[in-house]
Structure 1
Amino acid sequence: MRVRIGILLAVIVSMVMTGVPSPASAAAGRSAIYGGGPFYSGGQGVMDTLRSSGFTTVVLWAIHVRADTGDLWLNDIRIISNGQYVGDSGWPARLATLKRAPTSVNRIEVSVGSAGPNDWGAIKTLIERDGTGSGSVLYRNFQVLRTITGADAINDDDEQQYDLTTTTAFANMVIGQGYKFTFVPYTNMAFWRSLKNNLGAAVDRVYLQAYAGGAGNNPATWAQQLGMPVDPGLWSRHGSGCASGDTPATVESRMRGWASSAGIPGGFLWLFDDMQACAAQGTPAQYAAAVNNATGSTTPSLPPGSNLALNRTATGSASCATTEAPAKAVNGSVSGGTTDKWCSTAATKQLQVDLGAGRSLTGFVVRHAGAGGESASWNTRDYNIAVSADGTTWTTVVQARGNTADVTTHLASATGRYVRLDVLTAEQSGTSAARVYEFEVYG
């Protein structure tokens, strides 16, 4: 991945697993998670976290290749040498549990390459020296890798070599061993287009980096150039104070936008290691639900907990009519006709709910015009959700842009007594009235 600096070391910290749904509760969709050291050294606990997370694909990151010996390393640990597995004897058995029911995981990939060591340069050297026949060390080592990991696909994360001839030869070699082949591009579209033309249908997924060096990537453009839809990826909360990256709420909002504009079939998250370190900002289960909800079912699963806003005191900007007051948005109903909603045409459109006391919150559901039987063209397009302990100082926890759905679900870990919906663009055309049939706050 582009964000790699040196070799990731496993730092195992306690997970805060609040509100983890069972795999069966995840909405239809496909979602992948990359992980480094914890996927190897984190023990069975990490495997069980992945099984219950809602992620459908686990990507083991990253396999490095030695140009002199052909040895395969997982980050800084040598695991295969001269056709023999030399790693932790318990790791293959732990990996085997990933797909064991009950689980959300149905696919494992092994990522080859990064922005650090030039693994695809090493592969080029080995192929030019030894070829890709069954007797070559490259062939034997990757055959063993598939046996011990149960991997379904090789995940090509080439970020510097871009040699079409040797990459095509390598891909055909591992495809012959039973692997599928997937791309992880962030730049050099011409190379990936040519490689796709060479490999055809053997490439069954493209994981487009849409963060860091690939932050400006447009999934629609890449899909058009490669002739297949792509699964874009975002970076979870990370860095000093866990202040960088996306929360589950912003992941869901951005994925919904891409689902609308580019028809994405799924998405991925980088990086499990950071989710461990920043667990209070979002658990694997919350990130998986964000992707699955945005790219799968149109009726996503609810956030954990109960609706704390139900029949609470609601206030807001001036209503379209006395029969469309803020209280209608917290009465638990969307089926009472076209006045069973809060409606406002005020210049500043806000809906606020007092939960009665400070609460720990897990997420929000907004039921827009279409949920009440009105035109989907009146669904709220752009809005924020903010929380406050005192009704004076507010923290924005959800930023939704480009929404077209009748019902939107947002996972967010927050605390507060007051919750406010700020409508920025009330309708799809950018005009007139905000129409909210229900504003639900879970915790």
Structure 2
Amino acid sequence: MKMIAPVLPLNEEFRIEALKSLGILDTESENEFDEITALAAYLCDTESALISLVDSDREWFKSSYGFSASEIPRKESFCAHAILEPDTPLIVKDARLDERFCNNPLTIEGTVTFYASIPLIDKDGFALGTLCVIDRQPKELSDKQLEALKSLAHQVVILFELNKKNKDLEQVEDKLRKRNESLKEFARVISHDLKMPLANVITTSDLLKLKLANDLDQETSQYFDYIKQSSFTMSDYINDVLDHYESDSLAQNKPESFKLNYLLKEIAELLSIKPDCTIHFPESNPALNCNKSALKQIFFNLIGNSIKYNDKEQIIIDIEYTEDTIFYYFKITDNGMGIPDDKIDSIFELFTTANGTDRSGNKGNGIGLSTVKKLVENLGGCIKVKSTLRVQTTFDFSIKKQQNL
């Protein structure tokens, strides 16, 4: 008598497509699946257990417990028979007495005598394979053992779906990463290409205003001032865009040791602090060991905003510092315009602004705080804001301590 080879399911073409879509064939072993086969063998008191997937011409094992082969030909597969009736467990008490399997090589060599399986059915109803238990001796399963095997098979299907979702997410993240890199490069090229024409506009407007000084009335002179101011505004916008897209590389800088107050004084000089602004530095002037360049950019943006968005005659900025064994903590409080309640939740979103105009009547571009949040998170910390409109705003942020590489 010849071995009875399994026939193909009626939906075979679509079943194979569903199987391939999982992206799980020929992948490495995983503990989550191996634990299930070990548990299945233990609960059913069998020598072996397998998570099998029935491919076009083979049966491949995602996990095998007590079974040495990683795959077998489909024509020799017990599981290829099982998927023909996906709603019913296939239980073979003694394969030597079953006409379908008595001449199967696995039966003849004594590898499989007892076989029991639960088809693995995906959300669309396709039987992709089975969770099966096998033994060299004839056996029977109790109702409790069979129910346990069904429950474990259900968990296998859940794991398949989770794996597929994770792979889909990885693909989406990869696409977004590539698009983000392209956007960064686009922003960098465009920004650099715009800088020179803007510089020419500023220089040319100054030269024209100087050359035509004797022929300009007050209104025309103001137009030249508008051109120059608009060019400077655009230049600031370009610089902010570059800072935002270069923040990832900035966050990769190695940690270094420095005194916090020295860094803050350096920032104050860069911002050209005027007499109408008072900044209170931490009294202790603590020594830090972290990414100095990134922290400098964070404080530069936050202090700059505290000055720009301030409607008081005397600007007051308080900077506080604490630390523990894992994080450095910073707090910067100003007596400025404050942030409206309806803008608090969106203040760190790119191109979102909290106030209409700044101290000089210019509208912000909504890039600085987004860059700050990005840098803080890249440094392993978090940032939050509290504000009382027309009274004060406080930014609290942390960065994770680093070791020199």
TM-score (norm 2): 0.27
* Larger helix share, 1 or 2: 2
| Higher relative contact order, structure no. (Cα contacts within 8 Å, ≥ 6 residues apart) | 1
Between Structure 1 and Structure 2, whose CA radius of gyration is higher?
A: 2
* Larger strand share, 1 or 2: 1
TM-score (norm 1): 0.25
